[in-house]
Protein backbone atom coordinates (compact mmCIF):
# COMPACT_ATOMS: atom_id res chain seq x y z
CA UNK A 1 0.00 0.00 0.00
CA UNK A 2 1.36 3.46 -0.92
CA UNK A 3 2.25 5.90 1.82
CA UNK A 4 0.25 9.04 2.41
CA UNK A 5 1.67 12.22 0.90
CA UNK A 6 2.20 13.64 4.40
CA UNK A 7 4.26 10.67 5.51
CA UNK A 8 6.42 10.82 2.38
CA UNK A 9 7.04 14.52 3.00
CA UNK A 10 8.22 13.69 6.52
CA UNK A 11 10.67 11.11 5.14
CA UNK A 12 12.04 13.57 2.60
CA UNK A 13 12.39 16.28 5.23
CA UNK A 14 14.18 13.78 7.49
CA UNK A 15 16.67 12.83 4.79
CA UNK A 16 17.14 16.24 3.20
CA UNK A 17 17.01 18.70 6.06
CA UNK A 18 17.70 16.69 9.19
CA UNK A 19 17.48 18.03 12.73
CA UNK A 20 18.08 21.47 14.22
CA UNK A 21 21.51 22.88 13.43
CA UNK A 22 23.71 22.14 10.44
CA UNK A 23 24.18 18.43 9.73
CA UNK A 24 27.74 18.99 8.57
CA UNK A 25 30.24 21.76 9.27
CA UNK A 26 32.61 22.81 6.49
CA UNK A 27 35.42 25.09 7.61
CA UNK A 28 38.79 26.36 6.50
CA UNK A 29 41.20 26.11 9.44
CA UNK A 30 44.70 27.21 8.60
CA UNK A 31 45.67 25.39 5.43
CA UNK A 32 43.13 22.63 6.03
CA UNK A 33 39.59 22.05 4.88
CA UNK A 34 37.80 20.49 7.85
CA UNK A 35 34.60 18.45 7.50
CA UNK A 36 32.71 17.73 10.73
CA UNK A 37 29.77 15.32 10.61
CA UNK A 38 27.42 17.05 13.03
CA UNK A 39 24.63 14.69 14.04
CA UNK A 40 26.05 13.28 17.30
CA UNK A 41 22.63 12.34 18.74
CA UNK A 42 22.15 9.86 15.89
CA UNK A 43 25.81 8.78 15.75
CA UNK A 44 26.45 11.13 12.81
CA UNK A 45 24.34 8.99 10.48
CA UNK A 46 24.83 10.12 6.89
CA UNK A 47 21.99 11.79 4.98
CA UNK A 48 21.59 12.83 1.36
CA UNK A 49 21.70 16.46 2.44
CA UNK A 50 25.12 15.90 4.05
CA UNK A 51 26.42 14.22 0.90
CA UNK A 52 25.20 17.16 -1.18
CA UNK A 53 27.03 19.59 1.09
CA UNK A 54 30.30 17.67 1.33
CA UNK A 55 30.82 16.74 -2.33
CA UNK A 56 31.02 20.23 -3.91
CA UNK A 57 33.12 21.55 -1.02
CA UNK A 58 35.57 18.66 -1.33
CA UNK A 59 35.95 19.32 -5.06
CA UNK A 60 36.42 23.05 -4.36
CA UNK A 61 39.14 22.37 -1.78
CA UNK A 62 40.82 19.91 -4.11
CA UNK A 63 41.14 22.65 -6.74
CA UNK A 64 41.97 25.42 -4.26
CA UNK A 65 45.70 26.24 -4.07
CA UNK A 66 45.28 27.57 -0.53
CA UNK A 67 43.89 24.28 0.82
CA UNK A 68 46.63 21.72 1.39
CA UNK A 69 44.92 18.96 3.36
CA UNK A 70 41.35 17.77 4.02
CA UNK A 71 40.36 16.45 7.44
CA UNK A 72 37.07 14.70 8.20
CA UNK A 73 35.81 13.87 11.68
CA UNK A 74 32.62 13.24 13.62
CA UNK A 75 31.09 15.42 16.34
CA UNK A 76 30.69 13.95 19.80
CA UNK A 77 32.43 11.12 21.63
CA UNK A 78 30.58 8.08 20.33
CA UNK A 79 30.90 7.93 16.56
CA UNK A 80 32.69 9.05 13.46
CA UNK A 81 29.69 7.90 11.42
CA UNK A 82 27.59 4.84 12.21
CA UNK A 83 26.33 4.55 8.62
CA UNK A 84 23.57 5.81 6.40
CA UNK A 85 20.06 6.52 7.61
CA UNK A 86 18.78 3.15 6.37
CA UNK A 87 15.42 3.41 8.11
CA UNK A 88 14.60 6.52 6.10
CA UNK A 89 15.96 4.83 2.96
CA UNK A 90 13.70 1.81 3.56
CA UNK A 91 10.61 3.99 4.05
CA UNK A 92 11.40 5.99 0.92
CA UNK A 93 11.98 2.77 -1.03
CA UNK A 94 8.61 1.37 -0.02
CA UNK A 95 6.94 4.46 -1.44
CA UNK A 96 8.80 4.23 -4.74
CA UNK A 97 10.46 7.58 -4.11
CA UNK A 98 13.53 8.39 -6.22
CA UNK A 99 15.53 9.21 -3.11
CA UNK A 100 16.72 5.60 -3.09
CA UNK A 101 18.27 6.18 -6.51
CA UNK A 102 19.70 9.59 -5.71
CA UNK A 103 21.14 8.63 -2.35
CA UNK A 104 23.20 5.68 -3.56
CA UNK A 105 24.24 7.43 -6.77
CA UNK A 106 25.43 10.56 -4.98
CA UNK A 107 26.98 8.69 -2.05
CA UNK A 108 29.10 6.52 -4.34
CA UNK A 109 30.06 9.59 -6.37
CA UNK A 110 31.31 11.20 -3.14
CA UNK A 111 33.12 8.01 -2.12
CA UNK A 112 34.87 8.00 -5.49
CA UNK A 113 35.82 11.68 -5.10
CA UNK A 114 37.45 10.80 -1.77
CA UNK A 115 39.29 7.88 -3.36
CA UNK A 116 40.64 10.06 -6.17
CA UNK A 117 41.24 13.27 -4.18
CA UNK A 118 44.59 14.83 -5.11
CA UNK A 119 45.00 16.47 -1.70
CA UNK A 120 46.00 14.52 1.43
CA UNK A 121 42.74 13.30 3.00
CA UNK A 122 42.78 12.41 6.70
CA UNK A 123 39.81 10.66 8.32
CA UNK A 124 39.77 10.70 12.12
CA UNK A 125 37.68 7.60 12.75
CA UNK A 126 37.25 7.65 16.51
CA UNK A 127 34.16 5.82 17.76
CA UNK A 128 31.66 3.85 15.67
CA UNK A 129 32.60 3.64 12.00
CA UNK A 130 30.23 1.51 9.96
CA UNK A 131 28.56 1.44 6.54
CA UNK A 132 28.40 4.96 5.13
CA UNK A 133 31.05 6.07 7.61
CA UNK A 134 33.44 3.56 6.09
CA UNK A 135 32.76 5.04 2.66
CA UNK A 136 33.69 8.51 3.95
CA UNK A 137 37.01 7.30 5.33
CA UNK A 138 38.49 4.11 3.96
CA UNK A 139 39.19 5.37 0.42
CA UNK A 140 41.18 8.37 1.67
CA UNK A 141 44.96 8.25 2.01
CA UNK A 142 44.97 8.31 5.82
CA UNK A 143 42.59 6.73 8.35
CA UNK A 144 43.37 7.33 12.00
CA UNK A 145 41.80 4.92 14.49
CA UNK A 146 41.72 5.36 18.27
CA UNK A 147 41.07 2.99 21.15
CA UNK A 148 37.38 3.97 20.81
CA UNK A 149 37.06 2.98 17.15
CA UNK A 150 34.53 0.26 16.38
CA UNK A 151 34.58 -0.82 12.73
CA UNK A 152 32.15 -3.15 11.01
CA UNK A 153 30.30 -3.72 7.75
CA UNK A 154 27.11 -5.35 9.12
CA UNK A 155 24.96 -5.05 6.00
CA UNK A 156 24.20 -8.75 5.45
CA UNK A 157 22.17 -8.65 8.68
CA UNK A 158 19.74 -6.15 7.13
CA UNK A 159 19.40 -7.67 3.68
CA UNK A 160 21.99 -5.42 2.05
CA UNK A 161 25.68 -5.91 1.13
CA UNK A 162 28.90 -4.12 2.23
CA UNK A 163 28.70 -1.27 -0.25
CA UNK A 164 30.38 2.20 -0.38
CA UNK A 165 33.33 0.52 -2.09
CA UNK A 166 33.45 -2.53 0.17
CA UNK A 167 33.88 -4.60 -2.97
CA UNK A 168 37.20 -2.82 -3.52
CA UNK A 169 38.92 -2.52 -0.14
CA UNK A 170 37.70 -5.70 1.58
CA UNK A 171 39.10 -8.20 -0.97
CA UNK A 172 42.44 -6.38 -0.69
CA UNK A 173 42.85 -7.11 3.01
CA UNK A 174 45.15 -10.00 3.92
CA UNK A 175 44.00 -13.49 3.05
CA UNK A 176 40.28 -14.08 3.46
CA UNK A 177 39.92 -11.48 6.20
CA UNK A 178 37.90 -9.09 4.03
CA UNK A 179 35.47 -11.80 2.96
CA UNK A 180 35.10 -12.87 6.58
CA UNK A 181 34.32 -9.30 7.67
CA UNK A 182 31.93 -8.83 4.74
CA UNK A 183 29.86 -11.96 5.36
CA UNK A 184 29.81 -12.03 9.17
CA UNK A 185 29.78 -8.31 10.04
CA UNK A 186 32.49 -9.05 12.64
CA UNK A 187 33.40 -5.96 14.69
CA UNK A 188 36.98 -4.77 14.91
CA UNK A 189 37.92 -2.58 17.84
CA UNK A 190 40.70 -0.11 18.58
CA UNK A 191 44.18 -1.01 17.39
CA UNK A 192 42.78 -4.06 15.58
CA UNK A 193 41.33 -1.69 12.98
CA UNK A 194 44.95 -0.81 12.15
CA UNK A 195 46.18 -4.39 12.38
CA UNK A 196 43.50 -5.52 9.95
CA UNK A 197 44.63 -2.93 7.40
CA UNK A 198 41.48 -0.79 7.55
CA UNK A 199 43.19 2.12 9.34
CA UNK A 200 46.60 3.46 8.38
CA UNK A 201 47.43 4.82 11.86
CA UNK A 202 46.48 4.41 15.52
CA UNK A 203 46.54 7.42 17.85
CA UNK A 204 45.19 7.62 21.39
CA UNK A 205 41.96 9.62 21.52
CA UNK A 206 43.32 12.13 24.05
CA UNK A 207 45.95 13.16 21.48
CA UNK A 208 43.61 13.64 18.51
CA UNK A 209 43.04 17.35 19.18
CA UNK A 210 46.78 18.01 19.24
CA UNK A 211 47.22 15.94 16.09
CA UNK A 212 44.54 17.93 14.31
CA UNK A 213 46.18 21.20 15.35
CA UNK A 214 49.54 20.04 14.00
CA UNK A 215 47.91 19.04 10.71
CA UNK A 216 46.13 22.35 10.18
CA UNK A 217 49.32 24.24 11.08
CA UNK A 218 51.31 22.53 8.31
CA UNK A 219 52.23 24.95 5.54
CA UNK A 220 51.57 23.55 2.05
CA UNK A 221 52.18 19.96 3.18
CA UNK A 222 52.84 17.10 0.83
CA UNK A 223 51.49 13.61 1.44
CA UNK A 224 54.88 12.76 2.98
CA UNK A 225 54.64 15.73 5.37
CA UNK A 226 51.22 14.61 6.57
CA UNK A 227 52.48 11.05 6.94
CA UNK A 228 55.40 12.23 9.10
CA UNK A 229 53.05 14.00 11.51
CA UNK A 230 50.79 10.96 11.74
CA UNK A 231 53.75 8.61 12.16
CA UNK A 232 55.08 10.75 15.01
CA UNK A 233 51.78 10.55 16.89
CA UNK A 234 51.46 6.86 16.22
CA UNK A 235 54.94 6.38 17.64
CA UNK A 236 53.74 7.93 20.90
CA UNK A 237 50.81 5.52 21.24
CA UNK A 238 51.45 2.68 23.65
CA UNK A 239 47.83 1.87 24.48
CA UNK A 240 47.09 -1.81 23.76
CA UNK A 241 50.39 -2.04 21.88
CA UNK A 242 51.28 -5.40 23.41
CA UNK A 243 47.90 -7.00 22.85
CA UNK A 244 47.80 -9.37 19.85
CA UNK A 245 45.35 -8.93 17.00
CA UNK A 246 42.14 -10.46 18.34
CA UNK A 247 41.78 -12.51 15.15
CA UNK A 248 45.47 -13.48 14.99
CA UNK A 249 44.93 -16.96 16.35
CA UNK A 250 42.14 -17.48 13.84
CA UNK A 251 43.70 -16.06 10.67
CA UNK A 252 44.75 -19.48 9.38
CA UNK A 253 41.28 -20.79 10.22
CA UNK A 254 39.64 -17.87 8.39
CA UNK A 255 41.79 -18.41 5.31
CA UNK A 256 40.98 -22.11 5.30
CA UNK A 257 37.31 -22.01 6.25
CA UNK A 258 36.36 -19.14 3.95
CA UNK A 259 38.21 -20.61 0.96
CA UNK A 260 35.27 -21.75 -1.16
CA UNK A 261 33.54 -20.80 -4.38
CA UNK A 262 30.07 -20.68 -2.83
CA UNK A 263 28.45 -19.64 0.44
CA UNK A 264 27.19 -23.21 0.77
CA UNK A 265 30.81 -24.33 0.54
CA UNK A 266 31.82 -21.94 3.31
CA UNK A 267 28.95 -23.12 5.51
CA UNK A 268 29.96 -26.73 4.89
CA UNK A 269 33.55 -25.91 5.85
CA UNK A 270 32.39 -24.28 9.08
CA UNK A 271 30.04 -27.10 10.07
CA UNK A 272 32.53 -29.81 9.18
CA UNK A 273 35.33 -28.12 11.14
CA UNK A 274 33.27 -28.10 14.32
CA UNK A 275 35.63 -25.90 16.38
CA UNK A 276 34.03 -23.30 18.67
CA UNK A 277 35.22 -20.52 16.34
CA UNK A 278 33.78 -22.25 13.27
CA UNK A 279 30.51 -23.03 15.05
CA UNK A 280 30.14 -19.39 16.08
CA UNK A 281 30.64 -18.16 12.51
CA UNK A 282 28.20 -20.75 11.14
CA UNK A 283 25.62 -19.61 13.67
CA UNK A 284 26.23 -15.97 12.71
CA UNK A 285 25.88 -16.64 8.97
CA UNK A 286 22.69 -18.63 9.51
CA UNK A 287 21.03 -15.42 10.75
CA UNK A 288 21.98 -13.35 7.71
CA UNK A 289 19.95 -12.84 4.56
CA UNK A 290 20.78 -15.77 2.25
CA UNK A 291 20.41 -13.48 -0.75
CA UNK A 292 22.75 -10.90 0.79
CA UNK A 293 25.35 -13.55 1.53
CA UNK A 294 25.38 -14.74 -2.07
CA UNK A 295 25.45 -11.20 -3.49
CA UNK A 296 28.31 -10.33 -1.13
CA UNK A 297 30.45 -13.32 -2.04
CA UNK A 298 30.10 -12.56 -5.74
CA UNK A 299 30.76 -8.87 -5.05
CA UNK A 300 34.01 -9.75 -3.25
CA UNK A 301 35.10 -12.16 -5.97
CA UNK A 302 34.44 -9.66 -8.76
CA UNK A 303 35.73 -6.60 -6.92
CA UNK A 304 39.12 -8.17 -6.28
CA UNK A 305 40.17 -7.47 -9.87
CA UNK A 306 38.17 -4.29 -10.53
CA UNK A 307 39.16 -0.64 -10.33
CA UNK A 308 37.50 1.46 -7.63
CA UNK A 309 35.27 3.07 -10.25
CA UNK A 310 34.20 -0.30 -11.67
CA UNK A 311 33.32 -1.43 -8.14
CA UNK A 312 31.05 1.58 -7.58
CA UNK A 313 29.25 0.90 -10.87
CA UNK A 314 28.74 -2.72 -9.78
CA UNK A 315 27.58 -1.73 -6.31
CA UNK A 316 25.08 0.78 -7.64
CA UNK A 317 23.49 -2.03 -9.66
CA UNK A 318 23.37 -4.18 -6.52
CA UNK A 319 21.89 -1.34 -4.46
CA UNK A 320 19.00 -0.95 -6.86
CA UNK A 321 18.42 -4.71 -6.93
CA UNK A 322 18.18 -4.67 -3.14
CA UNK A 323 15.82 -1.69 -3.21
CA UNK A 324 13.57 -3.67 -5.58
CA UNK A 325 13.73 -6.82 -3.45
CA UNK A 326 12.28 -8.04 -0.15
CA UNK A 327 15.10 -8.66 2.30
CA UNK A 328 16.36 -5.11 2.82
CA UNK A 329 12.97 -3.90 4.01
CA UNK A 330 12.48 -6.98 6.18
CA UNK A 331 15.98 -6.67 7.65
CA UNK A 332 15.49 -3.01 8.56
CA UNK A 333 12.14 -3.88 10.14
CA UNK A 334 13.54 -6.73 12.23
CA UNK A 335 16.81 -5.13 13.29
CA UNK A 336 16.09 -1.40 13.48
CA UNK A 337 12.33 -0.78 13.67
CA UNK A 338 10.55 -3.60 15.52
CA UNK A 339 13.89 -4.88 16.85
CA UNK A 340 12.58 -8.43 17.21
CA UNK A 341 15.79 -9.70 15.56
CA UNK A 342 13.70 -12.27 13.72
CA UNK A 343 13.70 -11.41 10.01
CA UNK A 344 11.70 -13.58 7.63
CA UNK A 345 14.02 -13.78 4.64
CA UNK A 346 12.69 -14.60 1.17
CA UNK A 347 14.12 -16.93 -0.01
CA UNK A 348 14.78 -18.32 3.46
CA UNK A 349 17.61 -20.74 2.58
CA UNK A 350 20.84 -20.51 0.61
CA UNK A 351 19.73 -23.35 -1.63
CA UNK A 352 16.67 -21.39 -2.73
CA UNK A 353 18.74 -18.40 -3.88
CA UNK A 354 19.40 -19.28 -7.50
CA UNK A 355 22.47 -18.34 -9.49
CA UNK A 356 20.14 -16.75 -12.04
CA UNK A 357 18.68 -14.38 -9.44
CA UNK A 358 22.17 -13.45 -8.23
CA UNK A 359 23.40 -12.79 -11.77
CA UNK A 360 20.36 -10.59 -12.46
CA UNK A 361 21.36 -8.27 -9.63
CA UNK A 362 24.72 -7.59 -11.33
CA UNK A 363 23.26 -6.80 -14.76
CA UNK A 364 23.70 -3.40 -16.37
CA UNK A 365 21.01 -0.80 -15.75
CA UNK A 366 21.66 0.67 -19.19
CA UNK A 367 21.17 4.42 -19.22
CA UNK A 368 20.49 4.29 -15.47
CA UNK A 369 23.96 2.89 -14.62
CA UNK A 370 26.17 4.97 -12.36
CA UNK A 371 28.56 7.14 -14.38
CA UNK A 372 31.72 8.50 -12.74
**What is the set of active-site residues?**
84, 132, 155, 163
Pairing of the two strands 32-37 and 121-124: unpaired
d(CA 314, CA 321): 11
| Structural element, H or E, at residue 279 | helix 276-285
Sign of CA dihedral 351, 296, 193, 54: negative
d(CA 248, CA 91): 41
Inter-CA distances, 12 with 54, 88, 147, 243, Å: 19, 8, 36, 46
Determine if residue 195 is left, alpha or beta; phi over 0 gives left, psi from -120 to 50 gives alpha, anything else beta: alpha
Name 60's Cβ contacts closer than 8 Å, sequence gap at least 6.
none
Inter-CA distances, 294 with 54, 265, 362, Å: 33, 11, 12
Q: Are 332 and 341 in contact (CB under 8 A)?
A: no
User: DSSP string spanning 182-231?
Assistant: HHH-PPEETTHHHHTTS-SEE--GGGHHHHHHHHHH-SS--HHHHHHHHH
Amino acid sequence: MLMSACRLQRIQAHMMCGHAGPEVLLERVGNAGVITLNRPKVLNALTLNMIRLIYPQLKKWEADTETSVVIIKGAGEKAFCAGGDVTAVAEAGKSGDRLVKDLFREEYTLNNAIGTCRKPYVALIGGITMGGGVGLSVHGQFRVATEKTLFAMPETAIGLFPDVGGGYFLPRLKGKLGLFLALTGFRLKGRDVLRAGVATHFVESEKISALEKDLVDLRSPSVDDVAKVLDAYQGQSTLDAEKPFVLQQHMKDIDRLFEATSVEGIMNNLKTDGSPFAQKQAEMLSKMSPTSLKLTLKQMQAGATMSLQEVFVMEYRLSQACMNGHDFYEGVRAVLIDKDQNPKWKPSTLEEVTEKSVEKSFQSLGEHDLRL
